Amino acid sequence: MKTFTTLFYLWLTNQHLTKETWLIWYYMYKRFGYKSKIITPEIKWEEYPEAKFINWVEIVSKKWFKIWLIHFWLIGYLLKNSKKTDILNLFHFSLPSLFYWLIYKLLNKRWFIYLKLDYNINLFKDNGYKIYNINPIINVISTPFENLLINICNIISVEAEEWENLLKNYNKRFEKNLICMPNWADDINIKNAIGHINSFQEKENLIITVWRNWTYQKNTEMLLNIISNTNLKNWKIKIIWSIDNVFIEKIKKFFKEYPHFKTIVEFTWPKTKK
C-alpha cells in the first residue's frame, strides 16, 4: 500500500484530530488507497482514545521535553523512511519544512510533496505583504529559501480565495502549484453516524456555533453585538468552545448588559469525543 506521510512537528491534540487535517488523512486512505502516517512529537491519547483503534492511520509519536530535539528526531525518521514515503505532507511555511523536504527529495527519486498552509491573512498584511517579517534584512535572507520551497512543492493549498490571490500576487512562483482547498465537513460520515435526520418541521429553532471563541480571527465580539441588536423571536443560540477566565468575564459582561438573553444564548464546553 502506498503511504501518505505527515511530519507534524507540533503537538497533535484533539483539535487536529477533529478538524480538516483528519479528513485529509482519512480521504487519502478512503478515496486513493493510501496508508496515512502521522509522525508527531506527542499525541494526547487521553483526549482522543478512539484514534488508537483506527486501522487506516498509523501514528508514530514520542514525548519530548526540549522543543529543538523534535527536529532531530523527525530528520532521523526521514533519513530512515524517505524511500518508503510516496507523498510527504507538512503544514506551514517554515525553515524546518524546507530542510525536511530537501532531505526527502534527495533520498526519494519519486518524491511528491504537499504543503498545506494555514496562515493569518491580517499578519501577512501587517508584515507589509511578506510571509516572514517586515524587517528587510530578514526578508532578503529568507527569500532564496522561500523560492526554493515553493519550487520543490508539487502542491500547495490554502483555505481561502483571498489568501490564494494574495500569495500569487506576492510571488509569481505560486501560480504553478498553489490551489485553494476550503475546509470542509465529511457529510457522508455525519449522515451515517446520525442515522435519522429530522425533517424541517421536527427541528428546533437553534443556532449552534463551534470555534475558538475570543480569538481575534473568530471575532466573537461581533457575533454578540449582532445578537444584542437582533430580535431572535423564538430562536436560541448555543456557543460551544473552551471557557477560560477571559471568556467567563466577557460572558458576565454580556449578560449584565443584556440580561434577557440568559434564556436565549447558552455558552457551553466543547465535545471532545466525536
**Extents of the domains making up the chain:** 3-180, 198-268
Which band of pLDDT confidence, cut at 50, 70 and 90, is reported for residue 268? confident
Q: Which residues pair with 178 in a beta bridge?
A: 156
Mean pLDDT of the chain: 81
| Whether the predicted pLDDT of 134 surpasses 60 | no
Which cell is 33 given?
488507497
For the segment 19-55, what is each residue's pLDDT rounded down to a tens digit?
777 788 888 988 899 999 988 876 666 666 666 656 7
The domain made up of 3-180 is a member of CATH 3.30.70.870: no
For the segment 147-165, what is each residue's pLDDT rounded down to a tens digit?
888 888 999 999 888 889 9
Which cell is 216 given?
481575534
Q: Which residues contact 246 (CB under 8 A, 6 or more apart)?
A: 214
For the segment 80-123, what is each residue's pLDDT rounded down to a tens digit?
999 999 999 988 877 778 888 889 989 998 899 999 987 667 76
Q: What are phi and psi of 244, to 5 degrees?
A: -110, -175
For the segment 69-83, the average pLDDT, to the nearest whole number, is 89
The whole-number pLDDT of residue 47 equals: 62
For the segment 210-245, what is each residue's pLDDT rounded down to a tens digit?
766 556 667 778 888 899 999 888 999 998 876 667
| Whether the predicted pLDDT of 63 surpasses 80 | no
Secondary structure of the chain in HEC code, one letter for each residue: CCEEEEECCCCECHHHHCCHHHHHHHHHHHCCCCEEEEEECCECCCCCHHHHHCCCEEEEECCCCCHHHHHHHHHHHHHHHHHHCCEEEEECCCHHHHHHHHHHHHHCCCCCEEEECCCCHHHHHHCCCCCCCCCHHHHHHHHHHHHHHHHHCCEEEECCHHHHHHHHHHCHHHHHCEEECCCCCCHHHHHHHHCCCCCHHHCCCEEEEECCCCCCCCCHHHHHHHHHCCCCCCCEEEEECCCCHHHHHHHHHHHHHCHHHCCCEEEECCCCCC
What whole-number distance in Å separates Cα of residue 189 and Cα of residue 108?
A: 35
Which amino acid, 148?
Answer: L
Task: Select from 137, 138, 156 the least CA-distant residue to 89.
Answer: 156
Q: Which residues contact 183 (CB under 8 A, 6 or more apart)?
A: 19, 20, 159
Which band of pLDDT confidence, cut at 50, 70 and 90, is reported for residue 206? very high
